[in-house]
Amino acid sequence: MTTPIDLLIEARWIIPIEPANVVLENYAIAVDKGRIVALLQQNEARTRFSPREIKQLPHHILIPGLVNLHTHAAMTLLRGLADDLPLMDWLQNHIWPAEAKHVSAQFVHDGTLLACAEMLRGGTTCFNDMYFYPKATAQAALSCGIRAVIGLITVDFPTSYAADPDDYLTKGIAARDELIDNPLLSFCIAPHAPYTVSDRNFTKALALAEQCDLPIHLHLHETIQEIEDSQQRFGMRPIERLRRLGLLSPSLIAAHGIHVNENEIALLAEHGCSIAHCPSSNLKLASGIAPVSALTDKGVNIGLGTDGAASNNRLDMFQEMRLAALLAKGSSGKADTVGAHQALHMATLGGARALGIDAEIGSIVMGKSADLCAISIDRVELSPCYDPVSLVVYAAGREHVSDVWVAGNIRLANNHLLETNEIELIKLATLWQNQVCPLDV
Amino acid sequence: MTTPIDLLIEARWIIPIEPANVVLENYAIAVDKGRIVALLQQNEARTRFSPREIKQLPHHILIPGLVNLHTHAAMTLLRGLADDLPLMDWLQNHIWPAEAKHVSAQFVHDGTLLACAEMLRGGTTCFNDMYFYPKATAQAALSCGIRAVIGLITVDFPTSYAADPDDYLTKGIAARDELIDNPLLSFCIAPHAPYTVSDRNFTKALALAEQCDLPIHLHLHETIQEIEDSQQRFGMRPIERLRRLGLLSPSLIAAHGIHVNENEIALLAEHGCSIAHCPSSNLKLASGIAPVSALTDKGVNIGLGTDGAASNNRLDMFQEMRLAALLAKGSSGKADTVGAHQALHMATLGGARALGIDAEIGSIVMGKSADLCAISIDRVELSPCYDPVSLVVYAAGREHVSDVWVAGNIRLANNHLLETNEIELIKLATLWQNQVCPLDV
C-alpha cells in the first residue's frame, strides 16, 4: 500500500542542515500539501509513496531555500546609483534625496518585484524586509510566490509614506491586519536604527512587538559614527541604550553588528539576540568587518543578509555565504572558523531562527515547509566534487540554481522563473531608472 | 572606399580602460588579423570598414579580456579537496602529499584543460601560471586557445618533475625554447617562494631571468609565519632578502604581498614591483588582508589573481574584482578607495603591466591584440544600469560573460565554449577525483 503524495524530489545529494554536517546521497524528499512528509533513500521512497509528480535531480545538490535576513528589496531600483561612498555621505547626499523624490507605493511594488525575481533565481525563498510602504512590498512578494517577512518600519522623520512615528506604526499594523492570513507572510516591527528612532518611539515599537508577538528588526552598531553619536546624544553606546529600553531579547534581529566589543558580544549572547550579518554591504560602505568568529564562539545566532541592492549591489545569498566564510577566516586569522557547513547554516537555519520561523523553514526536516533550492553541479567550474558542502559555499554561485520551491510550489524550474516575465521586469526597471537618474557617461 | 577587415564588434557599452574612467556608448571595435585596428562610433565604423563578420552586442558591455595574474591552473583537480585549513597545514598535510602522489604531466595537462575552460567561460583571456610540468600547462592552454604566461618553476625540493634546482630551471628553459614561437605564450621564471628557494637558487633564477628578459613570479609575504621563519633563518624579512639578492625590480611579480609594512610598501613602489593580489585565497587560508589601499596610494602596480582552485575554490576574476574593491574599503575604512574602475583596471591592465605585456593586452586600444570579453546585461539581476562600470564590478558575475575573443579568435560564443567539450572535461575531472580521493560522505 503506497501513500499518495504531491511530489517526490530525488537528488544526487541532499544537505538537510539538521542534523549538522550531514550530506545524504541518493535520497528523496516526499512533499505533500506544501510540506516535507519524509526524507528517505530513493529506492525506499518509490516503494512507500505514489507521487503525482517526480522530479529527478541526478546532477544536483538540494539545500533548504536560502533566507535573506536583512534587505530593503525595493532598493533594487537604486542599484549602482551611487557607489564608492561612505555610509553617511551615501545615505544623506544620495540615497535619502533619491528616496524622498521617488519612493511611492508603486516604486516599492515594482522594486520588490525586481528583487523577488533576482532572489528566487538565486535560491532565496524567504526575505526579511525593511522599507517604506510595507504593504506594497508584501503584495509584490505574494505575486511572486516568495516567502517574506515584512518589516513594519518606523523612523522619527516624516516621509511620503507616513507623517510621524505613530503614523508609521499605525499604518504598519493596518497592513499586517489586512495581510495576516497569507501563509507566506509574517511580520517584524522595524524601528530603523538607533540614530533615527527616539527612546519614545523605541518604547512604543517594543510594546507593539510584544503585544503582537513579533520580532524586532533594526540596524545596530553599523558604523563607528553611529556609536560616537549615541555616546554624545544619549551618553551611552546603542546596545546599552537598547538594553535599558528592554529591546535586547531573542526577538531582536540586529542588522550589521559590526562594532561590538567583548561585553556587547556577551550581552547579545546572554539575551539570545540574532545578528543579520551583511558582509558585502559592510565592506562596500567601509563600515567595517563584523567579528563573526567571536560572535559564533559565544553562541550568538547569526543569519546572513544582502542589505539593499544599493549597497551590495546584488541580492545574492551565495555571495554572502562565501564572503561570510572567507571574511571570518581572513579577519580572525583562523582558517578553521566559519567552515562551509556553518556558512550554509547561517544562510538557512540561522536566518529562520532569528525570524522565529525555524519550526517552519530553514532545514530539510519532516513537517517543515518544502522551501527548497536545487543546485546543478554538472559544470566545469564545479568539477570535481570532493565535498558537496564545500562546492555549494566556495565554488557554486546563484547561476547554478536550477529549481526552487516555496511551500512545495515550484517557482524556478530548469532556470526558468514561472511567475515572472523577466523581459517586462527589465523594461520596468529601465523606466524607473530614467525617472531617477538618466544614464550619462 | 572602405577598408576590408575580419571583424567588427558593435557594443552598447565599451569600457576601454585606457583612457581611465571612460565608458563609450554605441561604439565599435574593428579587428583585423587578431588586432584592434580602430575604436570608433558605430555609424562611422560602418562607413569606414567592410567587415567579413559583424558581431552585434546590443545589450552588452565590452571590456578587455581579464588577466589572472596568479594561479596554479592544474590545481583545479584538487578543488575542494581540503578546505577550512591554515596555509601550512593545508600545504604540508593535504596539498603537498596529494601532489607528491598524483601530479604528473598528464595531471597537469588535464587540470589545466579544466582550468582554461573555467577561465574562458568567465572572461579570462590570459593567465599567469606557476606549477610543475610547465610544458604540459602550455600545451593544454594552446589547445584551448587562451593566452598564457608559463612560469618556469624552481624549488629546492625534488618532485617527480625535477630532481634539483638546476634540473627545474634546465627543464623550464627547454620547454620555453620549444614553445617560444607561439604568439599566445610568454614565460616567467618562477622561484616558488622565499621559504622554498635558497639564496643560490634565487641568484641563479635571477641570472636566467635577466639573460632571457623574463619577469620573475613568486609568492611573497603571504603569511606571518613565512616572515618569522625568514627572520630566524636569514636574519631578515623576505622582502629585504630579495632586495639584497637583487630581485626587486619592475620584473618582479609578488603574489599575495599581504604582510607588508610601510617601508616595504615604499621599497616595492621604488623598485617598480607588482603585486598579484589574491583576495579570495588570502582570506580563505586566513593569511590576512593585503593593504591594497596603501599600496595603490604609493603607486605600486596591482593585478588580481585567483590563486589555485584548491584555495579559492574558483578561477573567477569577477569574484576577485568585486572582492578586491570591497575588501580594500572594508579593511581601510575608506569607502572611496579602490573604486569600480580601479578594480577593473587591476583585473586587466594592471595584470598586463605586471607581466610586461601591456603593449599587447590589457586595454582596448588601437594596435593591441583583440582579447575581449562581452558581458550580457539583459538580466533582472543587472537591472537597472546607472553606471556600466559599477554594474560590471559589483553586480555582474562570470555567468554573464557571453562572448570571449583571444587575439581576435572567438573562444566563447553565446555562452558556448568552442574549443572544449565540457561534458568530456567533467568526466575527465571525475576520473582524476576518483584517483585522488574517492568521495565519502
- The mean per-residue pLDDT over the stretch A127-147 comes to 98
CA of B200 vs chain A CAs: smallest distance (Å):
33
CA B67 to chain centre: 4
In angstroms, rounded to a whole number, what is the distance separating the alpha carbons of residues B40 and B24? Answer: 9
Residues of A in contact with B394 (CB under 8 A): 80, 83, 284, 312-314
C-alpha dist (Å) from residue A423 to A141, A196, A403: 18, 38, 20
Residue B335 has its nearest CB partner, among A285, A325, A339, at A285
Residues of B in contact with A80 (CB under 8 A): 384-387, 390-391, 394-395
User: From the candidates B278, B327, B377, B383, which should be mutated to test the interface with A, based on the most A CB atoms within 10 A?
Assistant: B383
Residues of B in contact with A339 (CB under 8 A): 83-84
pLDDT tens column, A171-185? 999 999 999 999 999
Residue A326 has its nearest CB partner, among B90, B284, B309, at B284
User: From the candidates B22, B84, B225, B424, which should be mutated to test the interface with A, based on the most A CB atoms within 10 A?
Assistant: B84
Residue A387 has its nearest CB partner, among B80, B327, B335, at B80
Residues B129 and B139: beta-carbon distance below 8 Å:
no
In angstroms, rounded to a whole number, what is the distance separating the alpha carbons of residues B277 and B266? Answer: 17
The 10 Å Cβ neighbour count of residue A258 is: 24
Size of interface A-B (CB pairs under 8 A): 230
- The mean per-residue pLDDT over the stretch B38-55 comes to 97
Residue B384 has its nearest CB partner, among A79, A312, A327, at A79
In angstroms, rounded to a whole number, what is the distance separating the alpha carbons of residues A24 and A1? Answer: 26
**Using the beta-carbon criterion (under 8 Å), do A426 and B383 form an inter-chain contact?**
yes
pLDDT tens column, B134-193? 999 999 999 999 999 999 999 999 999 999 999 999 999 999 999 999 999 999 999 999
A90 confidence band (pLDDT: 50, 70, 90):
confident
In this model, does residue B224 exceed pLDDT 60?
A: yes
In angstroms, rounded to a whole number, what is the distance separating the alpha carbons of residues B61 and B58? Answer: 9
In angstroms, rounded to a whole number, what is the distance separating the alpha carbons of residues B250 and B52? Answer: 41
What share of chain B has pLDDT > 70, as a percent?
99
- The mean per-residue pLDDT over the stretch B84-99 comes to 86
**What was the pLDDT predicted at A85?**
84
Which of A171, A164, A170 shows the shortest CA–CA distance to A136? A171
User: From the candidates B77, B81, B120, B313, which should be mutated to test the interface with A, based on the most A CB atoms within 10 A?
Assistant: B313
Q: Looking at the DSSP assignment, which residues form a beta bridge with residue A185?
A: A148
DSSP 3-state assignment of B128?
A: strand
User: From the candidates A75, A94, A259, A313, which should be mutated to test the interface with B, based on the most B CB atoms within 10 A?
Assistant: A313
**Using the beta-carbon criterion (under 8 Å), do A85 and B335 form an inter-chain contact?**
yes
**Using the beta-carbon criterion (under 8 Å), do B282 and A330 form an inter-chain contact?**
yes
Using the 8-state DSSP alphabet, how is residue A2 labeled?
Answer: P
pLDDT tens column, B269-315? 999 999 999 999 999 999 999 999 999 999 999 999 999 999 999 99
- The mean per-residue pLDDT over the stretch A290-318 comes to 97
User: From the candidates B256, B380, B412, which should be mutated to test the interface with A, based on the most A CB atoms within 10 A?
Assistant: B380
**Using the beta-carbon criterion (under 8 Å), do B380 and A313 form an inter-chain contact?**
no
DSSP 3-state assignment of A249?
A: coil
- The mean per-residue pLDDT over the stretch A78-101 comes to 89
Q: Whats the size of chain B, residue-wise?
A: 441
Backbone phi, then psi, for B345, in 5-degree steps? -60, -45
A441 confidence band (pLDDT: 50, 70, 90):
very low
**What was the pLDDT predicted at B438?**
62
Residues of A in contact with B315 (CB under 8 A): 381
CA of B412 vs chain A CAs: smallest distance (Å):
14
Residues of A in contact with B92 (CB under 8 A): none
User: Which cell numbers in the block locate residue B269?
Assistant: 613602489
Q: Cα–Cα–Cα angle for A216, A222, A223, nearest 5°?
A: 150
**What was the pLDDT predicted at A312?**
96
Give residue A358's identity as a one-letter amino acid code: D
In this model, does residue A99 exceed pLDDT 60?
A: yes
**Using the beta-carbon criterion (under 8 Å), do B335 and A80 form an inter-chain contact?**
no
**Using the beta-carbon criterion (under 8 Å), do B313 and A390 form an inter-chain contact?**
yes
CA A51 to chain centre: 32
Residues of B in contact with A87 (CB under 8 A): 335
B90 confidence band (pLDDT: 50, 70, 90):
confident
- The mean per-residue pLDDT over the stretch A272-281 comes to 98
Measured over the CA atoms of residue B78, residue B84, residue B87 and residue B89, the dihedral's sign is negative
A287 confidence band (pLDDT: 50, 70, 90):
very high
- The mean per-residue pLDDT over the stretch B216-221 comes to 98
pLDDT tens column, A6-65? 999 999 999 999 999 999 999 999 999 999 999 999 999 999 999 999 999 999 999 999
**Exposed/middle/buried for residue A74 (C-beta within 10 Å: 0-12, 13-18, 19+):** buried
Which of B57, B36, B40, B46 shows the shortest CA–CA distance to B3? B46
In angstroms, rounded to a whole number, what is the distance separating the alpha carbons of residues B237 and B261? Answer: 11
Residues of A in contact with B380 (CB under 8 A): 114, 117-118, 121, 420, 422, 425-426, 429
pLDDT tens column, B234-271? 999 999 999 999 999 999 999 999 999 999 999 999 99
**What was the pLDDT predicted at A439?**
56
B441 confidence band (pLDDT: 50, 70, 90):
very low
